[in-house]
Structure 1
């Protein structure tokens, strides 16, 4: 299929060339591993988003399957992501769960259009400090949203607004449950200590029983171990903890049924802003994750194919009661480290989750929410780029302002406002930086010869655009206008926009009224093209536009 020169070619097609039994074995093992890891994360993300746990599981199954089947990355795993939590929670709080599904479908359409219009590379234009700021802000909000279940606070529902969250958490701090805190703190400690306690043995170490045990234990993902131990403790010790069963009644023992959400154009107009937020965040997260996967595998993804796949996935998942999906960093990294070689691993991961739902769903009712809160706390910590705050002292004030403003606005206002303000600030800083590089220097001689009386000459450097055109104003002050001619040497002027051209037009008219004239020298192709197309060259007079500065004196 081709549309606007877009070639529909999922990465699975190329990956299956030369596919053999050995690669299939590695993909199956990696898919099984990631499928097990994805289960607690999917449930935790759904609960933190204000939905039921099955909404996250269905998203991981359907989104993971479609993302691997149709995507542009060889090893990326799709599903519900931590970055979506605060956005989804806010949408559900303001519009309701049913309208979240409509917004997700609309976001899928927008993502698909981004892919078809080949905008994958444009997403990379979002400045790094903005990404750092909102990523760390989202991580803080995720951690904050889990304090209720982490400490077992008696709060019916956490509000979506930051200061309201702080107020209610402080008011209900006295209701913390000691038993819940013991389970959650022990779970969080295990998550942090587990990868470090069982490092892989050295390659030349003797294969002892201890090293073999460490290898086996290291193969068990931390979240899965926490889930098993915490659930076992609740079941065996009959701990008074809130569980998935006590809050949600468990999870369904079958796969989701297809249903169409109610839709109207009036509702679509109201949901366009949330849909756009979901689409942009999904695009950024997916392509950032794909780039990380490329670095791990020495491969290169197709950003436009990936956006189209995420668009198809997000268009379809709401029909099965699932949350929005995107590329997921933790599961993709796990997939690579587990030995995945193709999208087959992602497909196996989705099938593994489906099998778990069909076979082991009744066991989920005893999973304590404190353990899931600990898993999300750990995910939030790993999600944040906290070192970047410490490194701010090494960067410019512009960089610091972008990071900190985006961070605080994400936490205290909302993600959409944070990104909008961040992009506006980034544009203003860029304009200021480029304008500061634009210089106008006076010339006192031309090739060693002094300027004739009544002639002024200047050399222009950089870009003459709307942010720098004001620098021309000083050249045409009444006391500065030359009697005979003003020469602008422009061979180091790399670009000119319509505002800069208007400044030259004003200069030309001012000089002509004073009986003087404007002479341009050494025009580069872009400024010359704009002057030709606008008719300015004819109004100026082609005799007043020369290629070499040496020929100017002969024209005066």
Structure 2
């Protein structure tokens, strides 16, 4: 049975009302991302519906909202421009298959490798991206199709309605929680604009600007099953495979990072591998029903959580409300003032940005600050996937450098024998430090290297030990190696004969080396 709620104490009413709020905010986002990808608005809306519905039902994180996203759209645009939308549908299906495989092979666990400074940069960067994305709502197309900023009374009205929306969202929860404050704000501002006949930009105006058609609408029918019309050939695979791999990676990274963020906010734990499978199944399905694919949406997920939508019913109801808007409610949705939706997103920006990170200067290592700033900047400048990879690489290099610098030696003489006791991990970054401590020409005839306080981490460490044995052999000295794990002994080629085996004292651990596989 599908778990509709996180726990019995959660309210189905809160989930449904939160889902309605999310659905209202999904419409302009899905349409905008569809145009970024170079496809029709309904392609984005169908993706938001199907991906949102399936991931909410079978994914690994109740309360998380998925749909068409900008991070995926910017990758799709070149594929659509060069080969057409049918190739996009085929790519989305293959993307989904890769994501399912990632879940089956339990690759979701690797999200644990993302350090906390990368997470800080991730949320800060996305908050800035969400904020900058709202700036286009302050623009309109003139008679020549050139974008112009709102001026005078129009700009003042826009800012006033945004401020009213944000005020309602902020203060209403102090009076009542019977209705999500975001939903109440959208309804209040919409009724105010209609009742006072204010000349405010609406969702309809945004559609007209995007399409160049004053009569543009989000109205449509049910998604229809559709096998992508592409040749089943190796050439087709060559075209769609690179895009599918990139889209699958971006989608999973954004989804798993959003899952981790919501875990922290709700103090619960989602299931990363199950979310990979849910995202994959959703994308396979949407590819066969004319959708552009999608992944988790941090902005809409934050709206959902802040509105009290913690259960699966919130995501399911959001998707069903969105479908209802497409089928029968398009005229009502198109009347919503854009200012109300912008105000909701500004509240999301304020809640998403990790303001505490601004107080970290001088309180955490400089390397961590560099990671936070780098990930934030690359997220805004390029995209999330590149930013996370950059952050993880910087963090890994800093980690390796620190541990390489921490290797030390205890050296003592025992009669005619010299004993070396290395302390710290022996791996690629510390092997030079390890080598520099030995001088075979100056050492006595018998030397002992005791690894009781040193763990050999990788093949570079194994090679360093082999090379050390060779150096002492050439110098005519006798070398003894103590307290190496069985895996280390198995991997040594030149130094195997100088290892002293003590089954009761030798450590047992694995070495990161392909030879063991």
- What TM bracket, shorter-length normalisation? 0.7 to 0.9
The whole-number CA distance in structure 2 between the counterparts of 1:411 and 1:387 is 20
Pair 1:253–1:130, CA change in 2 (3 A): same
- Show the counterpart of 1:426: 395
Deviates more, 1:176-185 or 1:307-316: 176-185
Structure 1 spans left out of the alignment, 5+ residues = 1-11, 159-171, 202-213, 445-450, 549-556
Which protein shows a greater Rg? Answer: 1
SS at match of 1:495: coil
- Show the counterpart of 2:466: 505
User: Which of 197, 200, 205 matches 1:236?
Assistant: 197
The whole-number CA distance in structure 2 between the counterparts of 1:240 and 1:331 is 22
Alignment check: 8 A CA contact 1:137 1:410 kept? yes
Alignment check: 8 A CA contact 2:63 2:301 kept? yes
Alignment check: 8 A CA contact 2:52 2:319 kept? yes
User: Which of 20, 23, 28 matches 1:44?
Assistant: 28
Pair 1:59–1:178, CA change in 2 (3 A): farther
User: Which of 501, 525, 530 matches 2:488?
Assistant: 530
Alignment check: 8 A CA contact 2:190 2:337 kept? no
Pair 1:352–1:277, CA change in 2 (3 A): same
Alignment check: 8 A CA contact 1:180 1:370 kept? no
CA apart distance, 1:414: 4.0
The whole-number CA distance in structure 2 between the counterparts of 1:483 and 1:544 is 24
- Show the counterpart of 2:415: 452
SS at match of 1:459: strand
CA apart distance, 1:43: 1.8
- Show the counterpart of 1:189: 163
- Show the counterpart of 2:356: 387
Alignment check: 8 A CA contact 1:37 1:223 kept? no
Q: Does 1:301 align with 2:270?
A: yes
The whole-number CA distance in structure 1 between the counterparts of 2:432 and 2:208 is 68
The whole-number CA distance in structure 2 between the counterparts of 1:544 and 1:80 is 58
SS at match of 1:394: coil
Alignment check: 8 A CA contact 1:39 1:353 kept? yes
Alignment check: 8 A CA contact 2:190 2:335 kept? no
- Show the counterpart of 1:225: 187
Q: Encode CA deviations 1:44-86: one digit per residue, 9 max, x unaligned.
A: 322442535544443332222211322233x3243226xx324
Q: How many residues align?
A: 491
User: Which of 73, 76, 88 matches 1:91?
Assistant: 76
Alignment check: 8 A CA contact 1:44 1:373 kept? no
When the two structures are superposed, what TM-score results if normalisation uses the length of structure 2?
A: 0.81
The whole-number CA distance in structure 2 between the counterparts of 1:543 and 1:348 is 64
CA apart distance, 1:399: 0.7
CA apart distance, 1:299: 4.5
Alignment check: 8 A CA contact 1:461 1:493 kept? yes
- Show the counterpart of 1:177: 151
- Show the counterpart of 1:3: none
- Show the counterpart of 1:463: 425
- Show the counterpart of 1:110: 98
SS at match of 2:451: strand
SS at match of 2:103: helix
Structure 2 spans left out of the alignment, 5+ residues = 507-517
Q: Encode CA deviations 1:66-118: one digit per residue, 9 max, x unaligned.
A: 11322233x3243226xx32441353267447255444333322211111001
Pair 1:380–1:322, CA change in 2 (3 A): farther
Deviates more, 1:37-46 or 1:413-422: 413-422
Pair 1:541–1:200, CA change in 2 (3 A): closer
Q: CA RMSD in A?
A: 3.8
CA apart distance, 1:297: 5.9
SS at match of 1:491: coil
- Show the counterpart of 1:30: 14
- Show the counterpart of 2:515: none
SS at match of 1:482: coil
CA apart distance, 1:361: 1.2
CA apart distance, 1:510: 1.5
CA apart distance, 1:259: 2.8
Pair 1:119–1:236, CA change in 2 (3 A): same
Alignment check: 8 A CA contact 1:105 1:314 kept? yes
- Show the counterpart of 2:222: 255
Q: Does 1:540 align with 2:509?
A: no
CA apart distance, 1:121: 1.5
The whole-number CA distance in structure 2 between the counterparts of 1:385 and 1:268 is 42
SS at match of 2:425: strand
The whole-number CA distance in structure 1 between the counterparts of 2:451 and 2:79 is 56
CA apart distance, 1:293: 4.9
SS at match of 1:493: coil
